[in-house]
Amino acid sequence: MEVVIIKWRDASLHGQQTKFEEDIEDLGLITLITAGVVVKENDEAITLCMDFAPEQTSWRSCQTYPKSCFKIIKRIKIPKKFDTLKERRR
């Protein structure tokens, strides 16, 4: 299992308002930073989730991203026994 941090470019929403010539200069793509647990990956896309429940082997809040939009991807391996480590007491 691994966590990734991705810097990528995405479409930008510009609303329904009328755009005038002076407004057009500011329109463009946006740069985002996204992180998550890798659920699925192939040459074209990667699916990340916000939460993973190892006891149930289930994922929550999943989203798939096209790799063609990636600028940087940083991978962080999670040790296989991570979920068996002792929790810190407060």
- SS (HEC) of 34-83: EEEEEEEECCCEEEEEEEEECCCCEEEEEEEEEHHHEEEEEEEECCCCHH
pLDDT over 90 at 46, yes or no? yes
In a domain, 36, yes or no: yes
**What pTM, to 2 d.p., does this model score?**
0.79
Between 74 and 88, residue with greater pLDDT: 74
CA pair distance 71, 65, nearest whole angstrom: 12
Whether 53 maps to a domain, the answer reads: yes
Tell me how many domains the chain contains. Answer: 1
Residue 88 — very low, low, confident or very high, per pLDDT cuts 50/70/90? low
pLDDT, greater one: 42 or 15: 42
Domain that holds residue 34: 2-12+28-80
- Is 17 contained in some domain? no
Residue 23 lies in a domain: no
Task: Please report whether residue 68 resides in a domain.
Answer: yes
Is 70 part of a structural domain of the chain? Answer: yes
Using the 8-state DSSP alphabet, how is residue 89 labeled? P
